[in-house]
Amino acid sequence: MTEKSCPFCKRPISGEDTVCPHCGELLIYEYPKQVTARRNAVLFPLGFLLLFSMAGHWYLN
């Protein structure tokens, strides 16, 4: 958990906050990191599944 400061009220907030708990301002810059992490958590297992199925198909034929 990374400590940052709110750009609006300058109080410390956690890196996972999307809204400042002190002043209630929306912290838009946190969304792309969360979306990327969620997308990677879905795509990496699917990619490995695809690679293993291709290797299995090649090995069996």
Output phi, psi for 28, to 5 deg: -65, -35
Distance, in Å, from the CA atom of 7 to the CA atom of 21, rounded to the nearest integer, reads 13
Distance, in Å, from the CA atom of 42 to the CA atom of 54, rounded to the nearest integer, reads 19
Full-model pTM = 0.41
Q: pLDDT tens for residues 2-58?
A: 677 877 788 887 777 777 877 877 776 555 666 777 788 888 999 999 999 999 999
For residue 55, what pLDDT is reported? 96
For residue 34, what pLDDT is reported? 66
Statement: residue 59 has pLDDT above 70: yes
For residue 8, what pLDDT is reported? 75
For residue 21, what pLDDT is reported? 76
